[in-house]
Protein backbone atom coordinates (compact mmCIF):
# COMPACT_ATOMS: atom_id res chain seq x y z
CA UNK A 1 0.00 0.00 0.00
CA UNK A 2 1.17 3.50 -0.86
CA UNK A 3 2.41 5.31 2.25
CA UNK A 4 0.26 8.37 1.53
CA UNK A 5 -2.85 6.20 1.30
CA UNK A 6 -1.89 4.46 4.52
CA UNK A 7 -1.48 7.78 6.33
CA UNK A 8 -4.85 8.98 5.04
CA UNK A 9 -6.54 5.86 6.43
CA UNK A 10 -4.98 5.93 9.91
CA UNK A 11 -5.68 9.68 10.17
CA UNK A 12 -9.15 9.49 8.63
CA UNK A 13 -12.24 11.33 9.87
CA UNK A 14 -13.82 8.09 11.12
CA UNK A 15 -10.82 7.42 13.38
CA UNK A 16 -10.95 11.00 14.61
CA UNK A 17 -14.66 10.64 15.36
CA UNK A 18 -14.13 7.50 17.43
CA UNK A 19 -11.32 9.18 19.31
CA UNK A 20 -13.35 12.33 19.93
CA UNK A 21 -16.12 10.31 21.58
CA UNK A 22 -13.65 8.68 23.99
CA UNK A 23 -11.87 11.94 24.76
CA UNK A 24 -15.24 13.57 25.45
CA UNK A 25 -15.94 10.83 28.00
CA UNK A 26 -12.60 11.57 29.70
CA UNK A 27 -13.39 15.30 29.81
CA UNK A 28 -16.86 14.68 31.28
CA UNK A 29 -15.39 12.29 33.81
CA UNK A 30 -12.81 14.90 34.83
CA UNK A 31 -15.55 17.52 35.21
CA UNK A 32 -17.53 15.13 37.39
CA UNK A 33 -14.52 14.45 39.64
CA UNK A 34 -13.77 18.18 39.91
CA UNK A 35 -17.37 18.97 40.85
CA UNK A 36 -17.36 16.20 43.48
CA UNK A 37 -14.00 17.40 44.86
CA UNK A 38 -15.25 21.00 45.20
CA UNK A 39 -18.39 19.80 46.95
CA UNK A 40 -16.36 17.68 49.36
CA UNK A 41 -13.96 20.57 50.01
CA UNK A 42 -16.87 22.76 51.04
CA UNK A 43 -18.14 20.00 53.31
CA UNK A 44 -14.86 19.73 55.22
CA UNK A 45 -14.48 23.50 55.49
CA UNK A 46 -11.82 24.38 52.89
CA UNK A 47 -12.27 28.03 51.92
CA UNK A 48 -12.81 29.20 48.35
CA UNK A 49 -9.47 31.00 48.34
CA UNK A 50 -7.62 27.84 49.31
CA UNK A 51 -9.51 25.83 46.70
CA UNK A 52 -8.50 28.28 43.97
CA UNK A 53 -4.88 28.24 45.16
CA UNK A 54 -4.83 24.43 45.09
CA UNK A 55 -6.27 24.26 41.57
CA UNK A 56 -3.87 26.96 40.35
CA UNK A 57 -0.89 25.07 41.81
CA UNK A 58 -2.14 21.82 40.26
CA UNK A 59 -2.44 23.41 36.82
CA UNK A 60 1.08 24.82 36.98
CA UNK A 61 2.50 21.53 38.26
CA UNK A 62 0.80 19.62 35.44
CA UNK A 63 2.63 21.58 32.71
CA UNK A 64 5.86 19.60 33.08
CA UNK A 65 4.34 16.09 33.05
CA UNK A 66 2.06 17.13 30.18
CA UNK A 67 5.05 17.80 27.92
CA UNK A 68 6.18 14.17 28.00
CA UNK A 69 2.99 12.80 26.33
CA UNK A 70 3.24 15.56 23.72
CA UNK A 71 6.79 14.52 22.83
CA UNK A 72 5.75 10.88 22.77
CA UNK A 73 2.83 11.78 20.49
CA UNK A 74 5.25 13.23 17.95
CA UNK A 75 7.24 10.00 17.97
CA UNK A 76 4.28 7.58 17.88
CA UNK A 77 1.89 9.44 15.57
CA UNK A 78 4.06 8.89 12.52
CA UNK A 79 3.52 5.13 12.65
CA UNK A 80 0.29 4.69 14.63
CA UNK A 81 -1.54 7.80 13.46
CA UNK A 82 -2.29 10.99 15.36
CA UNK A 83 -5.88 10.08 16.39
CA UNK A 84 -5.01 6.77 18.05
CA UNK A 85 -1.87 8.19 19.68
CA UNK A 86 -3.83 11.14 21.06
CA UNK A 87 -6.54 8.80 22.30
CA UNK A 88 -4.29 6.31 24.06
CA UNK A 89 -2.07 8.93 25.71
CA UNK A 90 -5.13 10.75 27.05
CA UNK A 91 -6.86 7.61 28.28
CA UNK A 92 -3.89 5.66 29.58
CA UNK A 93 -0.84 7.92 29.50
CA UNK A 94 1.64 5.02 29.69
CA UNK A 95 3.34 5.63 26.36
CA UNK A 96 6.00 2.97 26.82
CA UNK A 97 3.43 0.30 27.66
CA UNK A 98 1.20 1.22 24.73
CA UNK A 99 4.13 1.28 22.33
CA UNK A 100 5.21 -2.13 23.61
CA UNK A 101 1.69 -3.50 23.12
CA UNK A 102 1.52 -2.09 19.59
CA UNK A 103 4.90 -3.64 18.80
CA UNK A 104 3.71 -7.05 20.00
CA UNK A 105 0.53 -6.78 17.94
CA UNK A 106 2.35 -5.73 14.78
CA UNK A 107 4.89 -8.54 15.23
CA UNK A 108 2.06 -11.07 14.80
CA UNK A 109 1.82 -9.84 11.20
CA UNK A 110 5.61 -10.04 10.88
CA UNK A 111 6.06 -6.27 10.78
CA UNK A 112 8.05 -3.88 12.97
CA UNK A 113 5.87 -1.20 14.52
CA UNK A 114 8.36 1.60 13.80
CA UNK A 115 8.27 0.99 10.04
CA UNK A 116 7.08 4.08 8.18
CA UNK A 117 4.38 2.00 6.47
CA UNK A 118 3.55 -0.98 8.64
CA UNK A 119 0.41 -1.73 6.66
CA UNK A 120 -3.24 -1.82 7.65
CA UNK A 121 -3.18 -5.42 8.88
CA UNK A 122 -0.20 -4.93 11.21
CA UNK A 123 -1.51 -1.53 12.29
CA UNK A 124 -4.88 -3.07 13.17
CA UNK A 125 -3.16 -5.82 15.18
CA UNK A 126 -1.14 -3.19 17.02
CA UNK A 127 -4.25 -1.13 17.80
CA UNK A 128 -6.14 -4.17 19.10
CA UNK A 129 -3.17 -5.15 21.25
CA UNK A 130 -3.09 -1.67 22.77
CA UNK A 131 -6.84 -1.57 23.37
CA UNK A 132 -6.94 -5.03 24.94
CA UNK A 133 -3.90 -4.16 27.06
CA UNK A 134 -5.72 -1.08 28.36
CA UNK A 135 -9.04 -2.87 28.78
CA UNK A 136 -7.40 -5.58 30.87
CA UNK A 137 -6.32 -3.38 33.72
CA UNK A 138 -9.45 -1.23 33.47
CA UNK A 139 -11.63 -4.31 34.00
CA UNK A 140 -9.44 -5.50 36.87
CA UNK A 141 -9.61 -2.08 38.56
CA UNK A 142 -13.38 -1.92 38.07
CA UNK A 143 -13.91 -5.35 39.64
CA UNK A 144 -11.21 -5.34 42.31
CA UNK A 145 -10.50 -1.69 43.12
CA UNK A 146 -12.34 -1.87 46.44
CA UNK A 147 -10.08 -4.76 47.47
CA UNK A 148 -6.78 -3.28 46.29
CA UNK A 149 -5.87 -1.62 49.58
CA UNK A 150 -6.26 -4.89 51.47
CA UNK A 151 -4.19 -6.75 48.87
CA UNK A 152 -1.39 -4.15 48.98
CA UNK A 153 -1.19 -4.26 52.78
CA UNK A 154 -1.14 -8.04 52.69
CA UNK A 155 1.64 -8.14 50.09
CA UNK A 156 3.83 -5.66 51.96
CA UNK A 157 3.23 -7.45 55.26
CA UNK A 158 4.55 -10.72 53.82
CA UNK A 159 7.41 -9.49 51.64
CA UNK A 160 10.12 -6.86 51.79
CA UNK A 161 9.16 -3.52 50.25
CA UNK A 162 12.58 -3.24 48.64
CA UNK A 163 12.25 -6.72 47.12
CA UNK A 164 8.84 -5.90 45.65
CA UNK A 165 10.18 -2.74 43.98
CA UNK A 166 13.17 -4.63 42.59
CA UNK A 167 10.91 -7.37 41.25
CA UNK A 168 8.63 -4.92 39.44
CA UNK A 169 11.61 -2.98 38.08
CA UNK A 170 13.23 -6.19 36.84
CA UNK A 171 10.03 -7.25 35.10
CA UNK A 172 9.79 -3.91 33.29
CA UNK A 173 13.46 -4.05 32.31
CA UNK A 174 13.07 -7.59 30.95
CA UNK A 175 10.04 -6.59 28.88
CA UNK A 176 11.73 -3.68 27.14
CA UNK A 177 15.02 -5.56 26.75
CA UNK A 178 13.07 -8.25 24.89
CA UNK A 179 11.41 -5.68 22.65
CA UNK A 180 14.75 -3.97 21.95
CA UNK A 181 16.51 -7.24 21.14
CA UNK A 182 13.90 -7.96 18.46
CA UNK A 183 14.92 -4.72 16.76
CA UNK A 184 18.66 -5.50 16.94
CA UNK A 185 19.28 -9.20 16.37
CA UNK A 186 19.93 -9.73 12.67
CA UNK A 187 19.30 -6.07 11.84
CA UNK A 188 21.45 -3.45 10.14
CA UNK A 189 23.86 -0.95 11.67
CA UNK A 190 21.16 1.73 11.52
CA UNK A 191 19.11 -0.07 14.16
CA UNK A 192 22.11 -0.39 16.48
CA UNK A 193 22.96 3.28 16.02
CA UNK A 194 19.45 4.41 16.94
CA UNK A 195 19.41 2.10 19.98
CA UNK A 196 22.84 3.29 21.18
CA UNK A 197 21.97 6.98 20.83
CA UNK A 198 18.65 6.54 22.61
CA UNK A 199 20.34 4.47 25.33
CA UNK A 200 23.04 7.10 25.89
CA UNK A 201 20.39 9.82 26.14
CA UNK A 202 18.46 7.77 28.69
CA UNK A 203 21.68 7.18 30.65
CA UNK A 204 22.39 10.90 30.59
CA UNK A 205 18.95 11.75 31.97
CA UNK A 206 19.09 8.95 34.54
CA UNK A 207 22.55 9.76 35.96
CA UNK A 208 24.06 13.12 35.08
CA UNK A 209 20.73 14.97 35.17
CA UNK A 210 19.14 12.86 37.89
CA UNK A 211 18.71 15.81 40.24
CA UNK A 212 16.61 17.70 37.72
CA UNK A 213 13.23 16.04 38.17
CA UNK A 214 11.52 18.17 35.52
CA UNK A 215 13.91 16.88 32.86
CA UNK A 216 13.11 13.31 33.88
CA UNK A 217 9.56 13.89 32.68
CA UNK A 218 10.85 14.36 29.13
CA UNK A 219 13.56 11.69 29.18
CA UNK A 220 11.69 8.91 27.36
CA UNK A 221 10.36 11.07 24.55
CA UNK A 222 13.57 13.06 24.04
CA UNK A 223 15.67 9.87 23.98
CA UNK A 224 13.47 8.34 21.27
CA UNK A 225 13.47 11.50 19.17
CA UNK A 226 17.24 11.88 19.53
CA UNK A 227 17.77 8.29 18.40
CA UNK A 228 15.55 8.75 15.35
CA UNK A 229 16.73 12.18 14.23
CA UNK A 230 20.46 11.72 14.85
CA UNK A 231 20.40 8.33 13.12
CA UNK A 232 18.65 9.95 10.16
CA UNK A 233 21.36 12.66 10.07
CA UNK A 234 24.15 10.08 10.18
CA UNK A 235 22.76 7.57 7.70
CA UNK A 236 20.30 9.65 5.65
pLDDT for the residue 11: 81
**How many Cα neighbours within 13 Å face the side chain of 85?**
18
Q: Given a cut of 60, is residue 2 above it in pLDDT?
A: yes
State the average pLDDT over residues 149-168: 77
pLDDT for the residue 37: 85
**Per-chain mean pLDDT for the chain:** 77
Q: Given a cut of 70, is residue 196 above it in pLDDT?
A: yes
Give 187 or 146, the one with higher predicted confidence. Answer: 187
The contacts found for 15-18 with CB under 8 angstroms, 24 or more apart, are: 15/81, 15/83, 15/84, 16/83, 18/83, 18/87
CA 146 from centre of chain: 25
Going by C-alpha positions, the residue among 111, 132, 108, 115 that lies closest to residue 80 is: 115
Q: Given a cut of 60, is residue 9 above it in pLDDT?
A: yes
Q: Given a cut of 60, is residue 192 above it in pLDDT?
A: yes
CA-based angle 154:155:157, to the nearest 5? 65
Going by C-alpha positions, the residue among 127, 97, 94, 96 that lies closest to residue 109 is: 127
pLDDT for the residue 190: 86
pLDDT for the residue 235: 82
Q: Given a cut of 70, is residue 223 above it in pLDDT?
A: yes
d(CA 104, CA 112): 9
| φ/ψ of residue 55, rounded to 5 | -70, -40
Which positions ≥6 away from 96 have C-beta within 8 Å?
176, 220
Domains of the chain, by residue range, sit at 3-183
Question: With pLDDT > 70 as the criterion, what percentage of the chain qualifies?
Answer: 84
Task: Show the DSSP H helices in the chain as ranges.
Answer: 3-10, 13-43, 48-80, 82-91, 95-108, 120-158, 161-182, 189-203, 213-235
- In tens, the pLDDT along 111-150 reads 776 665 577 888 888 888 877 877 777 777 777 777 777 7
Asked if residue 202 lies in contact with residue 223, where contact means CB atoms within 8 angstroms, the answer is: yes
Question: With pLDDT > 90 as the criterion, what percentage of the chain qualifies?
Answer: 0
pLDDT for the residue 68: 65
pTM higher than the cut 0.75? no
d(CA 202, CA 19): 31
- In tens, the pLDDT along 38-76 reads 888 888 888 888 888 777 767 766 665 566 667 777 777
Q: Given a cut of 70, is residue 95 above it in pLDDT?
A: no
State the average pLDDT over residues 201-215: 74
d(CA 170, CA 188): 28
State the average pLDDT over residues 29-41: 86
d(CA 122, CA 180): 18
d(CA 93, CA 113): 19
What three-state secondary structure class fits 186?
A: coil
Q: Given a cut of 60, is residue 158 above it in pLDDT?
A: yes
Amino acid sequence: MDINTFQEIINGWDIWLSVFIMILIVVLQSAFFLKTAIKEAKTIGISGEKRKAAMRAACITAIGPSMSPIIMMLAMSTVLGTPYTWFVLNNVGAARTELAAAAMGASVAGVEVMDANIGIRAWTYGIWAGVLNSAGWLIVVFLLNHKMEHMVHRMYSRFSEKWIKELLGGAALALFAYLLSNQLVGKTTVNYCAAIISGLCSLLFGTVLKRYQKLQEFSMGISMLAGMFLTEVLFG
